[in-house]
Structure 1
């Protein structure tokens, strides 16, 4: 049953990615249905009565789940057909990843009820800021393309054509800071719950491991970016640099180390 839902969700994403832009109603309905099924697969994959299943594949799947939600909501306000061509194929692949890389099981026995909430908020924070970083890369490519004139006879590929259909840079920048603002709020809740409720969550006072330090550094970078945006009007290359630096630091805190442990070293969660 779960495998069927995995495949159906990926199929809906793939179909909606291929539909022509004029089929907006069909795309909206199909994306919504695929997103709901995607969420159901995530819930079934991660949650069980006494344990959580976590790993880099779940993280990537959750990231694309959030991406699809952002695309679907914001497409009501902005023309985002270029994002559809990029996000939905990636989501179709990501929804299948947990079936290939199931991750590791974390027992909830003896842990506070706060633990599951802490994990859920952390996952949403990492996912939202991952999307922000991906969005920043698209903006950098979009800006570079504006200053690069391709030969007239050259036919654009799929990715180049999708970049050409992206919204204006000012619209993309508005979306970027909405993502960063949401991600920063979620990351703040993650840091606060991890520090204040450390003993209830993990059975010990807060431990300054590499994961904690890199998470705090990332939180400071994104916070500084939002303050700079509010009081100094930071934008353009400054905003992109802070976004990518903050994301790279966050990646070191979680996803990179988990990928190495699970795929390269074939070890479970520490």
Structure 2
């Protein structure tokens, strides 16, 4: 087992203020939001930067920290272009805090498997596309969950935490669709570069491992949803369930497989 370092503890603590302020609906003032987002993002980004210098880490703990750092950076970019996305921090920040705690605990059982990014053609590009698409799909899934909660509150005619904290349904759906198109393009490119890597190394395009199978299923779910949305205008809670199903499959493919390998089988 490895010991938990100070950088991991700081990264966990840094996410707490953003989580509390988001849950309490106190991020209506953009300066406060950007300050808390900066406090939350700097420790994970620094942690990942230090880790990558020693080679790409394939363990569960490193995977979770890379995901957290990428999600926070991309979320900041999304919020800069769409202020309504700030309201999603009420759901996104606590979720990232949970992931950070899991990453810190996983560090006890981590197996360090450094990979030289320059040693495999297209590997660095594949990693960037795969992590980026997972981060975007995480933000999209959080938007989908916000829609489910908003519609449930409206159905029950309750004007409470959801309406006061989360962004309006119409704005959230537009943001969700835009992010999903970008995530789908990045996922397709990630699968293509992954197949190219496999072909250059083994002469075969894709070995149907659990990770590849689940990733392909997640991509298929997202593509089918986008087609249905264009053809039928699929939206609301049914659309959110499609997105959450796709996100669940990709989560099982990305950190899920590493959890089984490093924790359950390690």
Q: Do the structures match in fold with TM over 0.5? A: yes
**Cα deviation, residue 219, structure 1:** 1.5
List alignment gaps of at least 5 residues for structure 2.
none
CA contact (8 A) 1:65 1:91 kept: no
Q: Which residue of 2 aligns with 1:15?
A: 17
Cα distance in 2 for residues equivalent to 1:80 and 1:251: 22
RMSD: 3.1
TM-score computed with the length of structure 2 as normaliser: 0.78
CA gap 1:91/1:53 in 2 versus in 1, 3 angstroms: same
Q: Which residue of 1 aligns with 2:196?
A: 196
Cα distance in 2 for residues equivalent to 1:81 and 1:30: 12
CA contact (8 A) 1:64 1:90 kept: no
Q: Deviations over 1:201-251 (max 9, x none)?
A: x44412123322222222122122223333443222442232123223323
**Cα deviation, residue 113, structure 1:** 4.1
CA contact (8 A) 2:58 2:114 kept: no
TM-score computed with the length of structure 1 as normaliser: 0.77
CA contact (8 A) 1:187 1:219 kept: yes
List alignment gaps of at least 5 residues for structure 1.
151-155
Q: Which residue of 2 aligns with 1:166?
A: 166
CA gap 1:258/1:16 in 2 versus in 1, 3 angstroms: closer
Aligned positions of 1:125-140 closer than 5 A: 125-140=133-148
CA gap 1:89/1:251 in 2 versus in 1, 3 angstroms: closer
Q: Say which of 40, 47, 51 aligns to 1:34.
A: 40
Q: Which residue of 1 aligns with 2:217?
A: 217
Q: Which residue of 2 aligns with 1:91?
A: 96
CA gap 1:177/1:60 in 2 versus in 1, 3 angstroms: farther
* Larger helix fraction of residues: 2
CA gap 1:237/1:57 in 2 versus in 1, 3 angstroms: same
Q: Say which of 104, 108, 113 aligns to 1:106.
A: 113
CA gap 1:215/1:23 in 2 versus in 1, 3 angstroms: closer
Q: Which residue of 1 aligns with 2:69?
A: 65
Matched, 1:120 2:122: no
Equivalent residue pairs, number: 254
Q: Which residue of 1 aligns with 2:264?
A: 264
